[in-house]
A = this chain, B = another copy of it.
């Protein structure tokens, strides 16, 4: 087992100083052709690689990006990560991942762990619990310490940082307009409670789309699903809630669901109730994940382009990190949503 070789060892071995070795390796003209060759040959032989940690300490930058997301077993978030990783890697950065599990405490702890020198900046999406508690001190504090943040998807407006979002309300309108265009008269929405920012926005888009078409929204057609239901265990009660929605509103002929799981579950319930899709009932979802693509019938849905979101977020962060002038002008980039038409609509 040959341990990693350091400048010091090379220096000792070749009977020169550490400085000389360092310079020789970086091809400094201060060093004679002769010694340069000698040193480089030796370094190559022993497979010398500079120690990243030492470099980080010296340069006071780590070339690493910290990602904090609520969950990783989730198509959208892993897409975003793959986007971040792609541009990060290409620009010489590494990516370190922390999971909040939707918990405020874990979000804070994770950020604190990473903020003490391990990374140069954050890319994150806020935990549900944090959105609920509206406690954002950990964000402002890290920013105050000079560490930039880029938020994506679930953002909080009055924090001074770059943001990458989709136009959720616009995307929702896309979906609902499609349903209207396809002849639906009684369009229901299956959505989350309002404290989930994206849920709220999508609900708004639903309402606006209806109003644009002079359709009066009915409260009974708006199902704000009780919480924790996204955690896959509570699927049953989700089904019950949706089933009640249908039973109380026999005339529903279109459903807009604000995420994949809601959409799929709605399909399942509808089938159980004897409705055919898309003939009796049309459905549009949000998030173009693996479920939508392989569902039967395949789900018409609003794609957020998760990978693109990640790429943009990484780009913004790295640009910020490598910017010379210290002016902080923050951007909010909106990634276009796109309606992917498949077989759950006519």
Contact = CB atoms under 8 A, between A and B. Distances in A.
Interface string A42-55: 00000001111110
Nearest to A77: B78
Interface string A283-320: 00000001101111000000000000000000000000
A97 interface: yes
Nearest to A113: B94
A56 interface: yes
Given A78-B78, A117-B52, A296-B271, A145 B1 contact: yes
Contact of A264 (B49, B52, B113, B294): B294
Nearest to A93: B113
Contacts of A116: 4, 49-52
Interface residues of A, number: 54
A125 to B, nearest CB: 15
A242 interface: no
Interface in A35-90: 49-54, 56-57, 62, 64, 71-75, 78-79, 81-82, 85, 89
28 contacts: A1-B146, A4-B116, A4-B145, A49-B115, A49-B116, A50-B116, A51-B116, A51-B117, A53-B56, A53-B118, A57-B57, A64-B96, A72-B72, A72-B78, A72-B81, A73-B79, A74-B78, A75-B290, A82-B99, A89-B110, A95-B96, A95-B98, A96-B96, A261-B294, A268-B294, A271-B296, A294-B295, A296-B296
